[in-house]
Amino acid sequence: MKNLKSLFLLVLTISVTTLTGCLHIIEEATFRNNGSGTYKMTLDMSEMKGMMDMFKGMGGDSTAMNLGGDSTSIQGEGDYTPPAEAAPTEDPMGGLGDQMSSVSSTLQGVQGITSVVEIKDTTNLNFGYSFDFADMAALNRALKIINKDKYETKVEEVFRFKGKSFERLSTGDLGEEMKKAMMANGGGDEGEESSMDMVKMFLADMSYKQVYHFPDRVVKKSDNKQGEISDNGHTLTINLKPFNEEQMKSKAGVAAKVKLK
């Protein structure tokens, strides 16, 4: 995940193969009154499991999902040399899940960050990480490091929480970063338009869900139109579809200002 252009191309290639928006990102956090809490980021590729099982049942090699590998090799005067057998992978995105899970070394020694857990469920194809934070400064510090290391994006501040005011800033929006990577990959105006059409077709159902829990407070209102209040007012959920045409027209995003009581 070091390169967002590679991430976008991998997602698009897999989606074309399965004819579905098979990638779901879940950002979940709990904020207590004293500013401490927990943060969790998950990459859910479970919708690909059926396709992968079918592929294996047909005798296919899951390593074929890794881009750049040749299926045959010809050497000498037309002699066929079978490809070297590669070790099977349980990550259909060619290591994408592994890289997202590997945050222990990234967050090691970060002040105010504890209980770092790497999520690597190869059975259900869920990858990610979670950790506890002592306060908002610690949370923003950790996310700044993760965004720089994993997504190559510069993020100074993501969350603000004080008293009855909570804010999720527009920074660190992975959906927007993927769209930027796609546009950067286009070859001229015609190429960019064609790429965008492909994205709308194959990734329209890809989701980016934000779930924010306030056990000590009640959500009064949120200015994000995609937001839904539940759990007797203690939870705010924002469901985004970064490549959905309607949400793109309305410029839906992760940013939210929330009034609490």
Structural domain boundaries in the chain? 4-72+89-260
pLDDT in tens, 181-199: 655 555 445 555 665 676 5
Q: DSSP strand E in 48-105: where?
A: 73-75, 79-81
**Whole-prediction pTM value?**
0.76
Q: In the prediction, which pLDDT does 63 show?
A: 42
Kindly give, in sequence order, each residue whose CB lies less than 8 Å from that of residue 109, ignoring residues fewer than 6 positions away. Answer: none
Angle at 230 between CA 129 and CA 251, to 5 degrees: 70
pLDDT score recorded for residue 260: 98
Distance CA 45, CA 24 (A): 7
**Helical residues (DSSP H) of the chain, grouped into ranges:** 4-18, 49-57, 96-101, 104-107, 136-146, 174-185, 188-202, 245-249
Q: Which residue has the higher pLDDT, 177 or 93?
A: 177
Instruction: Enter the tokens of residue 237.
Output: 């959920």
Give per-residue pLDDT as tens, 223-258.
999 999 999 999 999 999 887 778 888 889 999 999
- CA 110 to chain centroid, in Å, comes to 22
Report how far residue 23's alpha carbon sits from residue 138's, in angstroms, rounded to the nearest whole number.
Answer: 29
Contacts of 71 by beta carbon, 8 Å cutoff, 6+ apart? 64, 83
CA distances from 196 to 19, 38, 104, 221, 246 (A): 16, 36, 35, 34, 14
